[in-house]
Amino acid sequence: MKHRMIVAGLAGLAALSLVGCSVGSEVDDATSTGVPDTSDPSASTDASTGTDSGYTLTPKDLDGDGLITVGFAQVGAESGWRTANTDSYKEYFVEENGFKLVFADANQDADKQKQDVRDLISQGVELIDLAPVTDSGWEPVLQEAKDAGIPLIISDRQLSVPEDLYLTYFGGDMRAEGDRVVDWIKSYAADQGITDPINVVHLQGTMGSSAQKGRSEALSVGAPANDWNVVYEQTGEFTQAKGQEVMESFLQQGKDFNVIYSENDDMTYGAIDALVAHGLDPKDYIIASFDGNKSAVQMVVDGTIDVIGECDPLLGPQVGELIKQAAAGETIAKITYSTEGLIDSTNAADKVTTAFGS
């Protein structure tokens, strides 16, 4: 399949498939597993509350210094999204906003991150914000934070843990992001009357992270439902270097493919570099990515990337607002999903002006 075949009718199609691109957030209800029902990705339902979930800890300035000390257990520095996320915390959690920040970088190591959270507990921070590298083995650590009387917020990546172990989750709905991208590819191929088999190269993020699981699930459900073949599936660990490396090893196999479904922009950059190094034109392929870094959005404007499932990294102020509400005794939602949509040729020129990062 040639990308250049796929031009007519795009605007109408994309207009249909675009969902909520405005700035802000929507609340969804929590389930006992922490895994939301995403059968309708655009739906939002009534929020359940921290109190209803049996979690009673609220943020407080315990040491009387007039600030809430937030320990942030961050994933690492693997991607442009991550850098923007870290910057948004460092910029927001400062004294003039009523906070102090203690920053712990797990360097993408799930075991180290559990130790990071334990260190934050023993340092006596007044609240912990955990962006979990992967989603397993957290219950004992969350219980320790709770026993120490330290409220804990999960941000960015979700955890399937009982609701009485954390105050709130704030971040993306990864499955819904994936579903939007899958639907976009489906509509795009149908609109173009593509009859060739759809052969997908799937570059996965960090295995066991909710970002990988949600986006991968969307494809693993969407591919058989649409008669697509996933011809290659490999983790690129959300980094450009690894994305390039795994794409290169796929290209060496000489198999047919016409779609790349890459679970973040950094791996997409790497995959595109690999295509070019093999003398292939990225514009001949449907390239789907996630996040929405400025350079990636520019590549949509240029026609190299076809669609991006948006994911908002600028969580610092939004989490800060929730902390302030909870500290003031207000009821906050158990789960709040960032507002996210799609970026394609119909809106990329607008989006590029406000996109995060470089």
**113 or 264: CB nearest ligand GYE:** 264
Helix, strand, coil percentages, rounded to 5, for the chain:
40, 20, 40
The nearer residue to ligand GYE, 157 or 202, going by C-beta atoms, is 157
For residue 247, give the 3-state DSSP assignment: helix
Backbone angles phi, psi at 141, to 5 degrees: -70, -45
Report residue 334 as tokens. Answer: 């158990």
Contact positions with ligand GYE (CB under 6 A) in 318-357: none
Alpha carbon distances (Å) from 357 to 84, 257, 313: 6, 30, 10
Phi then psi for residue 281, to 5 deg, are: -95, 115
Q: Is 13 in the site for ligand GYE (CB under 6 A)?
A: no
Is 272 exposed, middle or buried, given 0-12, 13-18 or 19+ CB atoms closer than 10 A?
buried
Q: Which stretch binds ligand GYE (CB under 6 A): 44-52, 78-86, 186-194, 350-358?
A: 78-86
Q: Which residue in 82, 100, 114, 334 binds ligand GYE (CB under 6 A)?
A: 82
d(CA 63, CA 148): 15
DSSP conformational letter for 356: B
**Which of 41, 59, 132, 172 lies at the binding interface for ligand GYE (CB under 6 A)?**
172
Q: Provide the minimum distance between the beta carbon of 299 and ligand GYE in the complex, in angstroms, as a whole number.
A: 15
Identify the residue among 290, 305, 323, 334 touching ligand GYE (CB under 6 A). Answer: 290
Q: In the set 106, 142, 211, 230, which binds ligand GYE (CB under 6 A)?
A: 211
CB of 2 to ligand GYE, least distance (A): 29
Distances (CA, A) of 243 to 182, 199, 238, 281: 20, 18, 7, 17
Contact 216, 263 (CB under 8 A): yes
Q: Is 184 in the site for ligand GYE (CB under 6 A)?
A: no
Give the residue from 70, 78, 200 showing the smallest Cα distance to 134: 78
* Binding of ligand GYE by 296 (CB under 6 A): no
Asked whether position 308 contacts ligand GYE by CB under 6 A, the answer is: no
Q: Give the residue with the Cβ less far from ligand GYE, 53 or 79.
A: 79
Q: Closest distance between ligand GYE and the C-beta of residue 236, in Å?
A: 10
Contact window for ligand GYE (CB under 6 A) among 54-62, 74-82, 194-202, 247-255? 74-82
Bridge partners, 22 (sequence order): none
Please report whether residue 291 would count as binding ligand GYE according to CB under 6 A.
yes
Q: How far is the CB of 247 from ligand GYE (least distance, A)?
A: 16
Does 264 bind ligand GYE (CB under 6 A)? Our answer is: yes
Tell me if 157 contacts ligand GYE by CB under 6 A: yes
d(CA 178, CA 263): 9
Binding site for ligand GYE (CB under 6 A): 78-79, 81-82, 156-157, 172, 211, 238, 264, 290-291, 311
